[in-house]
Amino acid sequence: MKRLLLAVVVVAASCASNGPAAPAPGSPDVACVDDFCIVYPGDWEAAPGVGYVSFTHPTAPDRAMATISILNMEGVVVNAGGVWPTTPDEVARAFWQLLEEAEVADLVRLERRVGGSVESFGSYQDGRLWHLLIPVDATRAIGVEVRGPNNSWETHADVFFSNVTGP
């Protein structure tokens, strides 16, 4: 009985909300820099830079953030102790391995999407992290990262992941 109670407490704690619930995503908008364009929820604030775009949500600017940039897949794998070349799935696992080694994240799920991109999800510090890896060529990919305080922000990640175009 004690084990069952402990299991219920652990599950309840893992489902608990950390921070504000996500509002419905705003009407889609588009942000572009030289290397890519991304559709994002229009209620997010976009800040384009050289080779990247960062985003924050006004209801949780320190907890609801997103970025898109070009990612060096070989660098990620080698820094995680892996061997290059490898598959996009292994690149995504190496990305999460680096976060896990830094003790800031834990991978929960990883799946290959039609077309070869890899979508993953896990915990990040006291919130959640959604990641999309879209291979561009042999060593480069577009990386999209969305963070939110709890699972309710997944609908926002879905909008970010819905339409990314690259070089």
Q: What is the mean pLDDT of the chain?
A: 91
Q: Is residue 12 part of a domain?
A: no
Confidence class for position 17, pLDDT limits 50, 70, 90:
low
Whether residue 3 is predicted with pLDDT greater than 90 in this model: the reply is: no
Residue 4: which H helix or E strand, with range?
A: helix 2-15
Q: Is residue 13 part of a domain?
A: no
Confidence class for position 71, pLDDT limits 50, 70, 90:
very high
Q: Is residue 112 part of a domain?
A: yes
CATH number at residue 62: 3.40.1000.10
Nearest-angstrom CA–CA distance, 150 and 22: 8
Stated pTM of the model: 0.89
Question: Coil, strand or helix: which one is 71?
Answer: strand
Q: What residue numbers bound the domain in which 98 lies?
A: 18-165
Confidence class for position 18, pLDDT limits 50, 70, 90:
confident
Per-residue pLDDT tens for 77-128?
999 999 999 999 999 999 999 999 999 999 999 999 999 999 999 999 999 9
Q: Is residue 23 part of a domain?
A: yes
Nearest-angstrom CA–CA distance, 41 and 26: 5
Per-residue pLDDT tens for 34-45?
999 999 999 999
Would you say 46 and 55 are in contact if contact means Cβ atoms under 8 Å apart?
Answer: yes
Question: Coil, strand or helix: which one is 95?
Answer: helix
Q: Is residue 6 part of a domain?
A: no
How many domains is the chain partitioned into structurally?
1
